[in-house]
Homo-oligomer: A and B are copies of this chain.
Amino acid sequence: MTMKLSDGERQAALDSLPAWQRVDGRDAIARDLRFADFNAAFGFMSRVALQAEKMDHHPEWTNVYNRVRIVLTTHDAGGLSTRDLELARFIDSLLPPA
Residues of A within 8 A of B (CB): 38-39, 42, 45-46, 49, 52-53, 58, 60-65
Contact B58 A60 (CB under 8 A): no
Q: Is the CB of A42 within 8 A of B38?
A: no
How long is the Cα–Cα vector from A61 to B45 in the complex, in angstroms?
A: 12
How many monomers of this protein are in the complex? 2
Residues of chain B contacted by A52 (CB below 8 angstroms): 38
B63 touches A60 (CB 8 A): yes
The answer on a CB contact under 8 Å between A61 and B58 is no
Cα(A46)–Cα(B49), bound, Å: 10
Q: Which of B38, B42, B49, B61 contacts A62 (CB 8 A)?
A: B61
B62 close to A62 (CB less than 8 A): yes
A45 to B41, CA, bound (A): 13
